[in-house]
Structure 1
Amino acid sequence: MAIVFSSKLTAVSGAALLTKENLYTGYSLFWAGLTVGGANLICGLCVGVTGATAAVSDAADSSLFVKILVIEIFGSVLGLFGLIVGLLMAGKAADFS
């Protein structure tokens, strides 16, 4: 996301900073970054919890491992969805003028 954001950033003089387009771009990039970060934080928590559960359940009954692995994949998709939404938000933002 930093590479995508850096393509939008340019040097702006102080007088032209507070235009509607620049405010929209700034807020769009801010919320895109927050969306991606929050989604990947939740994704990491989900994968950690289900990974620990998969290890314990595999020790108890090996037939449950594949079922819990599918649930872990569903949790990891949350991070990918957050990245897609962040890219869409950053794509709508214009360059700073």
Structure 2
Amino acid sequence: MSSNTCQSAYCNQGWSEVLTHMSPYGYANFGIAFGLGLSVVGAAWGIWLTGSSLVGAAVKAPRIRSKNLISVIFCEATAIYGVIMAIILANKVKKPEEALSTLSEDWDWAGYYYAGYGMFSSGLSVGLTNIASGVSVGIAGSSCAIGDAQDASLFVKILIVEIFASALGIFGIIVGIIQSNSCTFPVTAI
């Protein structure tokens, strides 16, 4: 038998089968992981963009080093938004009060999946928003460092743009909190 042929009944099942049969707790935990992980990636990316320009521009104008560290702090805030959302979501995961062997048809299975999918979408929304926020703050922080090295009067003007870029992360966590408000795992039978 060649490796390309499959005699098993499992060969025709694809990713849709895997995704529809995954535990709601798995979806909830993946939402927590994506929210936290992608937020940290966004912060790291923004710090990398800002930091590399800051170090390069500080060669020409050493006075900008301490003043432009605020750009790094704005990038770090995106990681903190992810940590806050991960804590909120982790506190929503509850295990059922009764043993799994007693689960029957009267359990609210739709409620489990609703909570799992809701927590997954909430975490993914916050994570993706914080990647966008981290990169945009990093680009604005890079421009701020380079502009400040050329002309000190540009610092406050570009810093305002950076504050608006940081607001993306705040909007993301607000949307994530709204999404997660209705995500409650049932703990008893209906």
> If the length of structure 1 is used for normalisation, what is the TM-score?
0.87
Q: How far, CA to CA, are the matches of 2:90 and 2:145 in structure 1?
A: 40
For this pair of structures, how many residues does the alignment match?
Answer: 97
8 Å Cα contact 1:8/1:96 also seen in 2: no
Residue 86 (structure 2) pairs with residue 2 (structure 1): yes
- Residue by residue, what CA displacement relative to the aligned partner does 1:11-54 show, whole Å, maximum 9, x if unpaired? 24385687111111111000100011111111110111111100
- Alignment of 1:58 with 2:148, yes or no, is yes
More helix by share: 1
d(CA) in 2 for partners of 1:71, 1:61: 17
| Cα distance in structure 1, aligned partners of 2:151 and 2:109 | 62
Q: Hey, what does 1:19 align to over in structure 2?
A: 109
Measure, in 2, the Cα distance between the counterparts of 1:85 and 1:68: 27
Hey, what's the Cα distance between the residues in 2 that align with 1:44 and 1:75? 8
Query: Which structure: larger Rg?
Result: 2
Which of 2-11 and 58-67 deviates more? 2-11
Q: So what's the TM-score if we normalise by structure 2?
A: 0.47
Q: Percent identity?
A: 40
Q: Show structure 2 runs of 5+ residues with no match.
A: 1-84
Partner of 1:89: 179
Q: Residue in 1 aligned with 2:23? A: none
**Which residues of structure 1 form unaligned runs of 5+?**
none
Provide the secondary structure at the position in 2 that maps to 1:8.
coil
Relative contact order: is structure 1 or structure 2 higher (C-alpha 8 Å, sep ≥ 6)? 1
